[in-house]
């Protein structure tokens, strides 16, 4: 216990276990060792510790880390409030009273958030690597499907033809935005608050810049009162996890649809599907469903911390202990979800010919037909009206647009010529797209090359 001398009774055992955070802040153990070593080195440089004392503390911390890694020492919640008190108690046990000098000029308030900031930076880098791998996998699949036709949707109604590659690249774009937000989260966490103490700094002239440099921070916080209670960087991280999980959920939903018998467009590898305890024929996209389902908990972690912070006065309050459990959970959930999604995508088999006959001459080409009349000199609103009548005619007769004779087209507008049927072919519908950012196969190939270069 790092406190207690002013109390006449020990903390109630149930209260200790209730208030202990060690079961989850044990995730910060290695960062706590690192922060302790940096702080000790700084104390030695300003004359609080002798060289011999510093070496004793530094070696003691190394031994504790080795014992923790080997499983020889595991702190428990019925003895310690947190990982910091556990480490300091173990250090005192190993090297004696010199360990008591380590806490000079420092509070658990600035210590724990320094640990958390280091953890967030590492978590961001891990997630960036995982998302890059997912992007590479999507790009590889896109590369093989630049001419694989599929319907594009608005309002969940068939709208215009696109390619599967074009659809996959939309998710590559989404995940790129997630990477940018992760980098912002890294920048927000990249600030040392070590030396801020409980809320007002120290009368001892600590060298905060030294510890910041030692720990790899790019800057030092400037207001101790704000520093020890600031959890905005955690909210930024959780918000980023939210959006990345939401993107994974949207993709999961589409995979679930594509693998259904109604779509019969994509097949997942057996190793990423499950069966039924009752129905022998079932092959379920359970991993995609689980990713979709895990969004609720990740969203809840974000809103939970928001609710905790919303009425807290400055500076530190014990409520802030609730900042870590959801943070660790969101990270692990996102990390594992990205890994599973990457493996699922690698296992995908595509039914490339599925939609070609359905798209050929279909109503999904009605907009291209309107553009055809615009190119012939008819104002778009008038062209839209003409094509609307043609669609009504085709649906009334239950025929496709390419099954309407040229003579019948001319009854709607004399501008129609034989070349109209080139617009209505599934062989040319993608190539007919001219604008940058469209599913024209050549433009999609260019985008794939750009992405390959960017991600490499």
For residue 135, is the peptide bond before it cis, meaning its omega torsion is within 30 degrees of 0? no
Tell me the pTM: 0.94
What integer pLDDT is reported at residue 77 of this predicted model?
A: 77
**Residues listed for the chain:** 456
C-alpha angle 362/365/369, rounded to 5°? 125
d(CA 381, CA 387): 10
Contact between 54 and 102 (Cβ < 8 Å): no
- What DSSP designation does 278 have? S
Residues of the domain holding 168: 109-353
Q: Are residues 270 and 314 in the same domain?
A: yes
CA distances from 283 to 217, 252, 263, 272, 352 (A): 49, 16, 14, 10, 21
Q: How many CB atoms sit inside 10 A of residue 182's CB?
A: 25
Q: Are residues 244 and 136 in the same domain?
A: yes
Listed in sequence order, the residues at least 6 apart from 252 whose beta carbon sits closer than 8 Å to its beta carbon are 285, 288, 289, 291, 292, 341
CATH number at residue 47: 1.10.275.10
Q: Are residues 222 and 93 in the same domain?
A: no
Q: Are residues 193 and 116 in the same domain?
A: yes
Structure tokens at 288: 């995609």
Q: Are residues 179 and 204 in the same domain?
A: yes
Does residue 3 lie in a domain region? no
Domain-terminating residue out of 300, 332, 353 = 353
Does residue 204 lie in a domain region? yes
Q: Tell me if residue 155 is catalytic.
A: yes
Q: Tell me if residue 276 is catalytic.
A: yes
Does residue 10 lie in a domain region? no
Q: Are residues 403 and 292 in the same domain?
A: no
Q: Are residues 229 and 281 in the same domain?
A: yes
Q: Are residues 191 and 277 in the same domain?
A: yes
What integer pLDDT is reported at residue 3 of this predicted model?
A: 44
Structure tokens at 195: 């030396």
Beta bridge partners of 153: 158
Which helix (H) or strand (E) is 153 found in, with range? Answer: strand 149-154
Residue 321's nearest CA partner among 108, 102, 80 is 108
Structure tokens at 331: 């990270």
* 3-state secondary structure labels for all residues of 282-350: CCECHHHHHHHHHHHHHHHHHHHHHHHHCCCCCCCCHHHHHHCHHHHHHHHHHHHHHHHHHHHHHCCEE
Domain-terminating residue out of 353, 380, 395 = 353
Domain total in the chain: 3
Choose the catalytic residue: 5, 14, 70, 155. Answer: 155
Written as tens digits, the pLDDT of the chain (456 aa) is 554 555 556 767 777 677 678 888 999 999 999 999 999 999 999 999 999 999 999 999 999 999 999 999 999 877 888 899 999 999 999 999 999 999 999 999 999 999 999 999 999 999 999 999 999 999 999 999 999 999 999 999 999 999 999 999 999 999 999 999 999 999 999 999 999 999 999 999 999 999 999 999 999 999 999 999 999 999 999 999 999 999 999 999 999 999 999 999 999 999 999 998 899 998 999 999 999 999 999 999 999 999 999 999 999 999 999 999 999 999 999 999 999 999 999 999 999 999 999 999 999 999 999 999 999 999 999 999 999 999 999 999 999 999 999 999 999 999 999 999 999 999 999 999 999 999 999 999 999 999 999 998
Choose the catalytic residue: 276, 315, 347, 384. Answer: 276
Q: Are residues 211 and 285 in the same domain?
A: yes
Does residue 8 lie in a domain region? no
Q: Are residues 255 and 185 in the same domain?
A: yes
Q: Are residues 25 and 171 in the same domain?
A: no
What integer pLDDT is reported at residue 325 of this predicted model?
A: 95
């Amino acid at each position: 216990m790092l406190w207690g001398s002013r109390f006449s009774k020990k903390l109630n055992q149930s209260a200790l276990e209730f208030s202990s955070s060690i079961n989850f802040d044990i995730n910060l153990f290695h960062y706590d060792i690192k922060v302790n070593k940096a702080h000790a080195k700084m104390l030695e440089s300003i004359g609080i510790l002798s060289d011999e004392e510093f070496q004793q503390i530094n070696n003691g911390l190394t031994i504790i880390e080795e014992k923790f890694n080997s499983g020889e020492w595991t702190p428990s919640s019925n003895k310690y409030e947190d990982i910091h008190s556990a480490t300091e108690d173990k250090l005192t046990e190993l090297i004696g009273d010199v360990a008591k000098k380590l806490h000079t000029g420092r509070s658990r308030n600035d210590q724990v958030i320094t640990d958390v900031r280091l953890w967030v930076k590492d978590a961001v880098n891990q997630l960036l690597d995982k998302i890059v791998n997912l992007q590479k996998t999507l790009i590889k699949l896109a590369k093989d499907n630049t001419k694989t036709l599929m319907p594009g949707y608005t309002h969940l109604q068939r709208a215009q033809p696109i390619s599967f590659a074009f659809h996959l690249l939309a998710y590559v774009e989404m995940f790129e935005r997630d990477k940018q937000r992760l980098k912002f989260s890294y920048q927000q966490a990249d600030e040392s608050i070590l030396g801020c103490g409980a809320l007002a700094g120290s009368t001892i002239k600590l060298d905060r810049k030294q510890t910041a440099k030692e720990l790899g921070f790019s800057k030092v916080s400037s207001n101790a009162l704000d520093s020890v209670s600031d959890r905005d960087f955690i909210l930024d991280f959780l918000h980023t996890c939210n959006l990345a999980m939401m993107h994974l959920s949207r993709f999961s939903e589409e995979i679930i649809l594509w693998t259904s018998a109604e779509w019969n467009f994509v097949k997942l590898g057996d190793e990423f599907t499950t069966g039924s305890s009752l129905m022998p024929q079932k092959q379920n996209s359970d991993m995609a469903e689980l990713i979709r389902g895990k969004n609720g908990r990740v969203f809840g972690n974000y809103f939970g911390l928001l609710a905790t912070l919303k009425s807290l006065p400055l500076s530190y309050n014990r409520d802030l202990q609730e900042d870590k459990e959801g943070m660790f959970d969101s990270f692990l959930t996102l990390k594992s979800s990205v890994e599973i999604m990457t493996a699922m995508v690698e296992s995908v088999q595509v039914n490339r010919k599925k939609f070609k006959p359905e798209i050929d001459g279909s109503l999904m080409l009605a907009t291209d037909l309107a553009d055809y009349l615009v190119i012939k000199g008819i104002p778009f609103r008038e062209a839209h009206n003409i094509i609307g009548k043609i669609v009504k005619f085709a649906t009334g007769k239950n025929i496709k647009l390419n099954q309407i004779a040229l003579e019948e087209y001319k009854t709607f507008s004399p501008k129609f010529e034989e070349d109209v049927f080139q617009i209505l072919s599934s062989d040319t519908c993608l190539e007919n797209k001219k604008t940058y950012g469209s599913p024209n196969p050549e433009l999609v190939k260019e985008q794939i090359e750009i992405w390959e270069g960017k991600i490499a």
